[in-house]
Amino acid sequence: MGKIVDKLRGRKLLSTTLVMFTLAIGILLGTLISGGANAARQQTAAPDATPLVVPSPVQVSNTFAQIAKRVAPAVVNINTDAAVRQPAVNRRRRSQTEEEDPREDLFRRFFGNPFDFGAPDQQQGNQRVHNLGSGVIVDPKGYIITNNHVVEKADRIRVRLQGDQTMYEAKLIGSDQETDLAVIKIEVKKPLGFAKIGNSEAVQVGDWAIAIGSPLGFEETMTAGIISAKGREIPNMGGPRRQFQRFLQTDAAINRGNSGGPLLNINGEIIGINTAIISSGGGFEGLGFAMPSNTVAGVYNQIIKGGKVTRGSIGITFLEANEAALRVYGAKSGGVLVNEVQPKGPAEKAGVKPEDVIVAINAKPIKNGEELVGIVADSPVGTALKLSLLRDGKPTDATVTVGDRTEVFKEMLAESRPEPEDSRQGTEVMFGISVANITRDQRRQWELDETGGVAVTNVEGASFADDVGLVKNDVILSINRRPVTSVQDVRNLQRELKPGSDVVFRVLRRGAGPGRPGQWRSFFLAGTLPAGQ
């Protein structure tokens, strides 16, 4: 019995031993197979590759960042508001979609309406147009350079500084349509950061160019590119009012709203004021244009001194003649071929004639029209210039006295619609208007035969005058049947009026009425003066 038990125990132990041995063999084989598989996978990836190691942070070139930190606080966002007024008799006849925006200017031809940021407001029968643009502070006292097309005709100009949501009221110091530049000023009770002016003559094609502004309403936007051309004229600009527009061309991204902002060099100096783009669809296409800083500085200095820009003129138009034309007229190297001589202008008085070739001014050779315009325009009015001429191939001289360009080319530079010279500085009077006396020269320029009257230089939106239909450039002949011949007459009449008084204006307006383009038409505007007027 005991032997049988021992045999059973031996068999059980043998079975257990065999089981354990089998398990050990299985584990060993599994380990070998797994290790072999892992080894195989490691070998089929990239055995010769080196792992990447992220380096410690190291400061790379931060030139642009430094410029942004230093100059961006001097770049401001400009908001303007203007009323597009229509005569009361026509307001109810035209829907909002039929209203035309008279602020259309040369930039519309490049990208439609450059200021179209939403539908205008309709108030008291008026459209109100809101524009956005940029500007740059150049004086810590709050003087700002921008584009004239950003602020022209604005009833209200407001400025927002970087990091400050306050809307500061701005005053227009002066503007220059021929370079599309303007100077405005804000009053802030602290010194302001400002950008330094650079020398655009030092700029070379291929230099870095940096633009800062508020394109499409996105403030503090900075873009970079290069200067792609100098002295560029924009195609189809034409006309004498574009004679002083020679731009720096850049591929730094410039879009709507960048107008008036600075174009900077790699030192963070202003080398231009961003003015226009050429675009088939209204977006950035790599063709941006900035007025050179040397021109900007000259315009700015004149505006802060006298509120306007005065340029010299000798009263000629000219052809940019090619070498063949110059040879035909007797010039061997360079010169300016006179096309027309302004009647009664300085050149005519000095004896200059069409088809003369101007080859030198004060013994300095003149190569082309740009050089001639630069010398004459920068000469103070009244300066005597000695012109060296070729007439029929023979040399002759003429001494010409420089005149004021706006007087010499008065008709050519005048707007299609007459506008008082002091249109922004008329005397504020009752009814929500500003008026100015009309000079004899203005009457002649406007072809205004009627005597008496005062010119309306501004109409406040939603005012009594606005409600009855008065518009800028109207001529008020009488108020309540009493003739008006001066600003003082209007003041005297307003003292007699009280809230609730009936007021009747007899008004002249040019081109007001079908079939009468360019002619003056007389009509009446009337209303009852409300409280507060």
Q: Is residue 259 among the annotated active site residues?
A: yes
Q: Is residue 381 part of a domain?
A: yes
Burial of 207 (0-12, 13-18, 19+ CB in 10 A): middle
Domain boundary among 122, 151, 186: 186
Instruction: Say yes or no: 385 and 433 in one domain.
Output: no
167 assigned to some structural domain:
yes
Residue 52 lies in a domain: no
From the list 134, 149, 388, 474, the catalytic residue is 149
Residue-level pLDDT at 135: 94
Residue 296's pLDDT is: 94
Q: In this model, does residue 114 exceed pLDDT 50?
A: no
Start-to-end CA distance of the chain, whole Å, equals 136
- What's CA 91's distance to the chain center, in Å? 31
Residues 265, 319 share a domain: no
Distances, alpha carbon 448 to alpha carbons 115, 250, 421, in Å: 35, 46, 15
Helix, coil or strand: residue 73: helix
Examine the pLDDT at 102 and tell me if it is beyond 60. no
Is 143 found in the same domain as 211? no
Cβ count near 176 (within 10 Å): 21
Rounded Cα–Cα distance for residues 116 and 114 (Å): 6
Sign of CA dihedral 278, 282, 286, 289: positive
Contact 419, 457 (CB under 8 A): no
Task: Say if residues 472 and 423 touch (Cβ distance below 8 Å).
Answer: yes
Residue 362 confidence (pLDDT): 95
122 and 166 part of one domain: yes
In this structure, how many other beta carbons lie within 10 angstroms of the beta carbon of residue 57?
A: 6
User: Distance between CA atoms of 329 and 47, rounded to whole angstroms?
Assistant: 82
More confident residue, 2 or 116: 2
In sign, the C-alpha dihedral spanning 506, 507, 512, 518 is: positive
- Is 50 exceeded by the pLDDT of residue 43? yes
Domain check: are 324 and 281 in the same one?
A: no
Query: Does position 378 have pLDDT exceeding 60, yes or no?
Result: yes
pTM exceeds cut of 0.75 = no
**pLDDT for the residue 532:** 54
Measured CA distances, 368 to 7, 301, 342, 399 (Å): 128, 27, 20, 19
For residue 94, what pLDDT band results from cuts at 50, 70 and 90?
very low
> Both 233 and 148 in a single domain?
no
Reported confidence tier of residue 27, pLDDT bands at 50, 70, 90: low
Contact 198, 271 (CB under 8 A): yes
Examine the fold and report which residue of 249, 265, 293 is the final residue of a domain before the chain moves on.
Answer: 293
* Distance (Å, whole) CA 190 – CA 193: 10
428: confidence class by pLDDT, cuts 50, 70, 90: low
Alpha-helical segments (H) within 313-364: 323-328, 346-350
130 catalytically annotated: no
Residue 464 and residue 365 share a domain: no
SS3 (DSSP) at 350: helix
Element (H, E) at 488: helix 487-495
Q: How confident is the model at residue 421 (pLDDT cuts 50, 70, 90)?
A: very low
Give yes or no: residues 178 and 74 share one domain: yes
Average pLDDT for 527-531 = 81
- CA–CA dist 414, 475 (Å, integer): 18
Instruction: Label residue 284 by pLDDT band (50, 70, 90).
Output: confident
pLDDT-wise least confident of 66-70, 82-86, 180-184, 455-459: 82-86
Tokens of 242: 């574009």
Kindly state the percentage of the chain with pLDDT values over 70: 74
| Boundaries of domain holding 112 | 64-186
Q: Which of 200, 259, 279, 478 is labelled catalytic?
A: 259
Asked if residue 18 belongs to a domain, the reply is no
Which residues, 6 or more positions from 464, have their beta carbon under 8 angstroms from its beta carbon? 431, 432, 503, 527, 529, 530, 533
Q: Is residue 70 part of a domain?
A: yes
Is the pLDDT assigned to residue 154 strictly greater than 60? yes
Residue 23 has pLDDT above 70, yes or no: no
For residues 482 and 387, state if they share a domain.
no
pLDDT confidence of residue 432: 86
Provide the 10 A C-beta neighbour count for residue 236. Answer: 11
134, 175, 176, 180: which is the annotated catalytic residue? 180
Is residue 419 in a domain? yes
Lowest mean pLDDT among 160-169, 361-370, 404-413, 519-528: 404-413
Assess whether 391 and 444 both reside in one domain: no
116 is catalytic: no
Mean pLDDT along residues 298-320: 89
Cα distance between residue 159 and residue 141, in whole Å: 14
Percent of the chain with pLDDT over 90: 35
CB-neighbour burial class of residue 213 (10 A; exposed 0-12, middle 13-18, buried 19+): buried
| Burial of residue 133, with CB atoms counted within 10 A of its CB: 0-12 exposed, 13-18 middle, 19 or more buried | buried
**Same-domain status, 181 and 72:** yes
Average pLDDT over residues 466-471: 89
Q: Are residues 106 and 133 in the same domain?
A: yes
Q: Is residue 369 part of a domain?
A: yes
Q: Using an 8 Å Cβ cutoff, are 159 and 142 in contact? A: no
Average pLDDT, rounded, for the chain: 78
CATH of the domain at 289: 2.40.10.10
Give the length of the chain: 533
- CA-CA distance, 119 to 506, in Å (whole number)? 34
Q: What is the pLDDT of residue 528?
A: 86
Q: How many CB atoms lie within 10 A of CB 116?
A: 15
How far is residue 232's CA from residue 288's CA, in Å, rounded to a whole number? 11
Least confident of 114-118, 347-351, 361-365: 114-118
How many folded domains does the chain comprise? Answer: 4
The CATH code of the domain that includes 385 is 2.30.42.10
- State pLDDT tens for residues 286-295: 788 999 999 9
211 within a domain of the structure (yes/no): yes
Q: Is the pLDDT of residue 121 over 50?
A: no
CA 398, CA 389: separation in Å to the nearest integer? 7
